[in-house]
Amino acid sequence: MAGAGGGGCPAGGNDLQWCFSQVKGAVDEDVAEADVISTVEFSHSGDLLATGDKGGRVVIFQREQENKSRPHSRGEYNVYSTFQSHEPEFDYLKSLEIEEKINKIRWLPQQGAARFLLSTNDKTIKLWKISERDKRAEGYNLKDEDGRLRDPLRITALRVPILKPMDLMVEASPRRIFANAHTYHINSISVNSDHETYLSADDLRINLWHLEITDRSFNIVDIKPANMEELTEVITAAEFHPHQCNVLVYSSSKGTIRLCDMRSSALCDRHSKFFEEPEDPSSRSFFSEIISSVSDVKFSHSGRYMMTRDYLSVKVWDLNMESRPVETHQVHEYLRSKLCSLYENDCIFDKFECCWNGSDSAIMTGSYNNFFRMFDRTTWRDVTLEASRENSKPRASLKPRRVCAGGKRKKDEVSVDSLDFSKKILHTAWHPVENIIAVAATNNLYIFQDKAN
């Protein structure tokens, strides 16, 4: 399926028309490195949207409920909680800094009033509890209203503290810290469908954790060779199956995906399934391995398919067929002739993510120039849209964009040579149920939704 730019029909349904909803973040031309968004994730119900940035902060947005007095703000996401998840650390043994950048955020399924999420940087995973407090206790016996302790000997009568309403306060507190289990950089975390365990993956190993236990984890995948000189590939992403708690997949820098069943052995060094598409010899180049490296792998909600993102394409795989993907969607094929330049400026190593819509009928991924691509699996149509402040009028429809790969450039087309490679959309998220998408463009978070929504 080719696509240098899109047809006029938006993906996600024939009648779907994407329009601008909100944009979060500063407008400054000079973007502070710490403010660059590094991960975006909707909660399981979609009412909360979490972002992590390179400064180690997590910002959670909450969707507003319907309010008759403010009908225009229905469905808007507003800041719910902000907290510093990770701080920069210094490894004194190696004299190297451990970045505070949040690599991934994953929500835990909601089980009570409080919400829980996992956030990770390169080395440490943290479990955060986000809870609301809208009442405070007054009338303590041992301390005054201003918190000063009272002399117990002077207390002559006891009273029962009473709860009084207060302004809503959202508290984020670290409940667990899972540290010192990864030698290499953590690239993935994934909560298991048993709601008790989760995996964390770095370049060479995957560990299995129990959410209640922080002082140990089980190593379930280890691809480190005896001699590092023999190293040929690394783990790039990993995820648990959405329904089968014993199944996980991990992708590699050589473009392969391995499915492992934890029931078969304690150490899943031997895969149960091996997914690899034969290389097309006609398109082979020195950069073939680099561009085949899988940057993201995501199971479909149904659990029957999985999607992988490499540098130029998105592929959908049927778990029952290992020999080749069932679908291949070209994201920006026009970049194939520019690989040398992209290697020089390191853009070829950019790790794009991908995501499914709630019904698995559409997929989305990012590109350069603040473009992002959506592919409708039902109609086989695709569209290129842009996250831009210029198109940020409320409820303004997004106009499909086209990239001119060569020849005469038509009106409204963007030439490949004029693409801004510093404006890259690496992180996107799709609401689990509705047609609402969150797109991270450097330090700005754009929220789009379909007009009918």
Partner 1 sequence: MFARRLKRKCAVDEEAAPAYSLQHQSLLDMSLVKLQLCHMLVEPNLCHSLLITNMDQQIQEEMTQDGRWCMPVPQTTGWASRDLLVSTGILCCCTWEGVHPAPEPGDLASEFHVVPAVQAPGGSPGGVWGRDGPRENRGSLHKSLDQIFETLESQSPGALEELFSDVDGSYYDLDGCYYDLDAVLTGMLGSAKLSKDGLDHVVDILVET
For binding to partner 1 (CB under 8 A), which residues are involved? Answer: 89-99, 122-124, 178-185, 203-205, 207, 214-219, 222, 224, 226-229, 231-234, 236, 253, 266-267, 286-287, 289-290, 293, 340, 343-344, 346, 349
Q: How far is the CB of 346 from partner 1 (least distance, A)?
A: 8
Is 172 or 221 the residue whose CB approaches partner 1 more closely? 221
Q: How far is the CB of 302 from partner 1 (least distance, A)?
A: 30
The backbone torsions φ and ψ at residue 33, rounded to the nearest 5 degrees and listed phi first, read: -55, -35
Spatial neighbors of 427 by CB under 8 A, at least 6 apart, are 37, 38, 39, 40, 353, 366, 439, 440
Is 90 or 140 the residue whose CB approaches partner 1 more closely? 90
How far apart, in whole angstroms, are the C-alpha atoms of residue 301 and residue 394? 31
Residue 354 · residue 365 · CB < 8 Å: yes
Is 30 or 286 the residue whose CB approaches partner 1 more closely? 286
**Encoded tokens for 255:** 């473009």
Q: How far is the CB of 172 from partner 1 (least distance, A)?
A: 22
Is 79 or 340 the residue whose CB approaches partner 1 more closely? 340
**Encoded tokens for 361:** 């009928």
Burial class of residue 365, CB neighbours in 10 A (0-12, 13-18, 19+): buried
Residue 39's SS3 state is strand
In the chain, the amino acid numbered 295 is S
Q: How far is the CB of 65 from partner 1 (least distance, A)?
A: 41
How far apart, in whole angstroms, are the C-alpha atoms of residue 47 and residue 41? 11
Q: How far is the CB of 218 from partner 1 (least distance, A)?
A: 5
- Tell me the HSE value of 47 on the side-chain side, using a 13 A CA sphere: 8
Is 123 or 258 the residue whose CB approaches partner 1 more closely? 123
Q: How far is the CB of 247 from partner 1 (least distance, A)?
A: 17
- Tell me the HSE value of 108 on the side-chain side, using a 13 A CA sphere: 23
Q: How far is the CB of 313 from partner 1 (least distance, A)?
A: 17
Q: How far is the CB of 279 from partner 1 (least distance, A)?
A: 13
How far apart, in whole angstroms, are the C-alpha atoms of residue 395 and residue 393? 6
CA-atom Rg of the chain in angstroms: 24
Q: How far is the CB of 130 from partner 1 (least distance, A)?
A: 24
Q: Dump the DSSP string for 170-195.
A: EEEEEEEEE-S--SS---EEEE-TTS
Is 47 or 353 the residue whose CB approaches partner 1 more closely? 353
Residue 13 · residue 376 · CB < 8 Å: yes
Q: Which of 382, 388, 401, 380 is nearest to 331 (CA)?
A: 382
Is 182 or 309 the residue whose CB approaches partner 1 more closely? 182
Residue 240, H or E segment: strand 235-240
**Encoded tokens for 58:** 């997590």
Q: How far is the CB of 148 from partner 1 (least distance, A)?
A: 36
Is 185 or 273 the residue whose CB approaches partner 1 more closely? 185
Is 319 or 348 the residue whose CB approaches partner 1 more closely? 348
Is 286 or 320 the residue whose CB approaches partner 1 more closely? 286
Residue 299 CA to its chain's centroid (Å): 13
How far apart, in whole angstroms, are the C-alpha atoms of residue 449 and residue 437? 6
